[in-house]
Amino acid sequence: MPPASVSQAHGEGTAVPTARRPSTRTARGWRGAFSLLVPLTLALALISPVISPSSAPHGTVLGLRLIAPSGPLPVGTTALHLVDHGRVDPWLPSAGARELMVTLWYPTRRAGGRPPAPWMDRLAAEHYLARISGRDASPAQLSAVPDTHSERDAPVAHRAGGWPVVLFSPGYGEDRALGTELTEDLASRGFVVAAVDHTYDATEVAFPQHRLVLRHQPVPTPEALAASTRIRAADARFVLDELIALNRGANPDAEHRILPPGTVGALDLARVGMFGHSLGGATTAETMVDDPRILAGIDLDGVLHGAVLDSGLDRPFLLMSRQGHTHYTDPTWSRSWAHFTGWHAEIQLARSAHYSFTDNETLLPQMAGVLGLTAQRLRELVGTIPPGTAISGERACIAAFFERMLAGHDNGLLDGPSLQLPAVALIP
């Protein structure tokens, strides 16, 4: 019997999983240990250049495009430079206080009057393109970096009581920009989303005054990744503290840059969620263990670390995975799953791969020829699911979850099979 098309909450229904169950406990452990290596291996591969300099045509114009948000509301965006004066940077103490860059995505009250924000700051984009192509980025390549579908510093739309808030944490070595297609879409559906760059973990972070900060990480052992998860969770808690101050009228931006009109009072901080990809998913779980202000969370294909393995969670938590990654094959998921006491579910995206949950799902196929990516390599990174199918399925499930858990609007999408999402299946 084929699997159901979309998930139900665990305990509210069952369906046949897409992944075959291991026949013995030993098989489960072996496959689980192997599955832990896959996301990290792929992350390291993307952090390093993926092709040799000689194989990339210099000056090639890519003309990259992101998929437009699907919600009914126009979106604005702004960036915040936040400094945690109460914490010395744990990765590089000589740098002083911990600094973060955060992008806010939010519903705006009008559209069309301001230029769209770029997908990535130009300084970060120069380093990003050089890293993935193995050579300095040309002006033509930089001009091809996509724009978002959001207006920079547009006024925040008013909503009585404010908009629910969702934090986003990217994967290991990833920039916050790589979650744009998901974060921007969530804002178009009536949320304020704060996407965080975890400095010295992210491959490149552009700060004001043309300052670019690059990765500074130890060898990624399990212990180091667990430490990184704790540091990221502290980042998330600090960002939430700063959003509270912002909502009350303070300006937490380190340069005191003028914030978009309507920012004060626009956030409903009694309704806060969080999600993340890969290590960002682990960060979400760790933050929820530490901070009861986070009412609901989603892990996008991330191996879990830290206290959640034994404590579980008493609030709603959704696991969303690539093809073949389940709590039957990942011992960190199965260990945590046994301790979840709140609403929880696991859904899987058919024919997907680890980076299907990032903008790489859309951008890598567009860049494959220029980067020299073979068809096999592309399958390893983003699977064989069409980009539009992957992104629309992810967006629908993320929105349905947060609308249900934070906004009290249940569209029924998480309650049973749906012909709208044939690529999404329940793992009971």
Question: What is the model's pLDDT at position 138?
Answer: 65
pLDDT in tens, 350-395: 999 999 999 999 999 998 887 778 999 999 999 999 999 999 999 9
pLDDT score, position 109: 85
pLDDT at 135: 67
**Which pLDDT score, from 0 to 100, does residue 214 have?**
95
pLDDT > 90? residue 253: yes
Angstrom distance (rounded) from CA 81 to CA 378? 35
Residue 417, pLDDT score: 67
- Examine the pLDDT at 41 and tell me if it is beyond 60: no
b/e sequence 119-150, b meaning 16+ C-beta within 10 Å: bbbeebbbbbbbbbbbeebbeebeebbbebbb
Q: What pLDDT is stored for residue 143 in this prediction?
A: 67
Radius of gyration of the chain, Cα coordinates, nearest whole angstrom = 20
Count each helix (H run) and each strand (E run) in the chain, helices first.
Answer: 11, 13
Q: Is the pLDDT of residue 274 over 50?
A: yes
Rounded-to-integer distance, Cα 153 and Cα 101, Å:
16
Q: Tell me the C-alpha distance between 275 and 18, whole Å.
A: 24
pLDDT value at 72 more than 90: yes
**What is the CATH topology of the domain spanning 25-426?**
Rossmann fold (3.40.50)
Tens-place pLDDT, residues 223-247: 999 999 999 999 999 999 999 999 9
Tell me the domain boundaries of the chain.
Answer: 25-426
The confidence score (pLDDT) of residue 85 equals 97
pLDDT of amino acid 413: 84
- Tell me: pLDDT of 24 over 90: no
| CA neighbor of 192 nearest in space, from 119, 266, 259, 288 | 266
Among 105-109, 365-369, 400-404, the range scoring the smallest mean pLDDT is 365-369
pLDDT exceeds 90 at position 8: no
- How much is the pTM? 0.87
Most confident of 23-27, 172-176, 220-224: 172-176
* Range from 140-149, 205-214, 218-227, 325-334 carrying the lowest mean pLDDT: 140-149
* Pairing mode of beta strands 424-426, 344-349: antiparallel
Average pLDDT over the chain, rounded to whole?
A: 85
Looking at the chain, the whole-number percentage of residues with pLDDT higher than 90 is 71
